[in-house]
Amino acid sequence: MRSQLPIGEIARRSGTAATTLRYYEELGLLRPPTRLGGRRMYDESVLTRLKAIDLCKISGFTLDEIKVLLADETPGRPATRALAAAKLADIDARIAALTQARTIVEWGLRCTCPTIETCTCDIHPMLDAGGSGRQTLEP
């Protein structure tokens, strides 16, 4: 059996505020902890669950969607698969946009031209190569 840790220790280890832990418990994202002398005592495994919640949030899942993901115990996890498939396209689009953003930041570190419009450092083709379908910084 894993050790039981007080809410303060879970907050410290996870980087999640104790108020957020109580909120997640209220929403059903965390199972109610045991109580010892009125103090919330969480199983150490809650740290894994909190990491999963954080990664889901970073991926763009809402707390309601995360609740579905964590509660999906149906064989084959159909709800999880449906949500994940829909989110992958969003994640890929954000990765493409961040890749293009990285390109322009790297260019900015090298470029000595007075403006992007008068740049002779070839940033415009790099922006067009991003393929995101978004308008680039070209005039």
CA 53 – CA 61 distance, rounded (Å): 9
In a domain? residue 130: no
In a domain? residue 12: yes
Closest CA to 44 of 33, 55, 53, 36: 33
pLDDT score for 121: 79
Region 75-93 average pLDDT? 91
Is a pLDDT exceeding 80 seen at residue 1? no
Share of the chain above pLDDT 90, in %: 59
pTM of the model: 0.72
Region 126-131 average pLDDT? 54
CATH code of residue 32: 1.10.1660.10
Angle at 129 between CA 127 and CA 132, to 5 degrees: 80
Domain that holds residue 19: 4-71
In a domain? residue 25: yes
56 Cβ partners below 8 Å, 6+ apart?
Answer: 65, 66, 69
- Per-residue pLDDT of 19-30, as tens digits, reads 999 999 999 999
In a domain? residue 99: no
- Per the model's pLDDT, the better-predicted residue between 43 and 137 turns out to be 43
pLDDT score for 131: 45
Helix (H, G, I), strand (E, B) or coil at 59: coil
In a domain? residue 122: no
**What's the whole-number average pLDDT of the chain?**
86
In a domain? residue 15: yes
Structurally, how many domains does the chain consist of? 1
The number of residues in the chain equals: 139
In a domain? residue 85: no
In a domain? residue 49: yes
Is a pLDDT exceeding 60 seen at residue 135? no
